[in-house]
Structure 1
């Protein structure tokens, strides 16, 4: 219950459903809503505060912190989760079918002439500042109807789940790079700035690639961390 409640509140904060300054449920309200003990409710709110997502003040209650932009990287690689629940809105720059050899990201294990769907999207924060450029390539045969989706809201992992495409493993790499002109323009910053690029690969149970994606992060836009909690602890 602790994990379920905390994950739910964290997702609401990061999606903007609970915006900066919003009042969080009290310990008593969490107890009544979820049928949990006071210690569990207290742990949920204290852990959100430790992560920098909320501020707890005596007599004033608990409120969402300004600029609550911490993201658990495990949510970005866990194939069981439909979305990492990053804050803000997505804007589609381009969505097209092309050959794997012409995609902006490497798509290992398939022929250069094989068709892939390439999506380029930009995520904006709650202040509408562009913070992440996403470039994703998916073998066309795995998602032939993807371009019919609402691309400003669709998650690739959620789409795979809905269409029955199994994902067996996911891996993420981190590269410091100098931003090229195209990505700099999308982020509204100068080219040549050092940024962190995250590259994610997802594979099917048969070892075939399901998605190759790269994320170009605006400096100081988000804080990433890795946290594992023992569900039996």
Structure 2
């Protein structure tokens, strides 16, 4: 009786799938790369188009590539999973995907809160605030558009802080204690300004996470984080309330 079974060679479609997957996961083919056309893979592997199609269909199922009509197959941007009940640093989310991170400030202004600002921060009177807009980039693709208000009555040190190179969310988490936070999540269509900054078509579905944090004396910050809808998923994990009877 044989001591073990000889490993069987992979079926050709599985070999094609594995080799393409290896190139994607190793970073050799980063997000946005067009992989060889079906006829090119057919010629390279000396097989039928049906075999190549079977391999690519499995890669689509795994979420590694997307097929575009008349254009070919492209490596997909990895989807980000974020816990709804936690505050994450955007840089950490991007680097967890194995992608280069870049932060690009757009606007910074100190002004008195208007009625809309007061609603966002839930202020009773028109406090002075810092308004920041910035873009977070993953690899070569815009990842998230940040629109943030910081209440200078609660965070006066933000007035002298240079946010041109450091993301304000990271600075706030490291420097400013907070006692509670609220997330509001909704879907929206990208307006002209958002679409231009996120490199999308106007009207493209986006996911907006609106977050406010506060302490025992008042609101600290309110931020609207706008993500392209095809690259972000929010996850909530919870347990049954109460005790089993």
Q: Give the shorter-chain TM-score range.
A: 0.5 to 0.7
- Structure showing greater radius of gyration is 2
* Structure 2 residue 127 is the aligned partner of structure 1 residue 95: no
Contact 1:20-1:67 within 8 A present in 2 as well: no
What is aligned with 2:234? 224
What is aligned with 1:190? 201
Secondary structure at the aligned position of 2:177 is classed as coil
Aligned residues, how many? 163
Of structures 1 and 2, the one scoring higher in RCO (CA 8 A, sep 6+) is: 1
Provide structure 1 residue ranges, at least 5 long, that are not aligned to the other structure: 1-18, 23-51, 53-64
Are residues 157 and 217 of structure 1, via their aligned partners in 2, closer, same or farther at CA, if it must alter by over 3 Å?
same
What is aligned with 2:155? 143
Secondary structure at the aligned position of 2:120 is classed as coil
Q: Deviation string for 1:123-182 (max 9, x for gaps)?
A: 1112x21121110101113333435234433343543542xx321111111112222211
Provide structure 2 residue ranges, at least 5 long, that are not aligned to the other structure: 1-23, 28-61, 63-74, 95-100, 240-245
For normalisation by structure 1, the TM-score amounts to 0.58
Contact 1:118-1:137 within 8 A present in 2 as well: yes
CA distance in 2, matches of 1:228, 1:160: 24
Contact 2:133-2:145 within 8 A present in 1 as well: yes
For normalisation by structure 2, the TM-score amounts to 0.56
| TM-align CA RMSD | 3.2
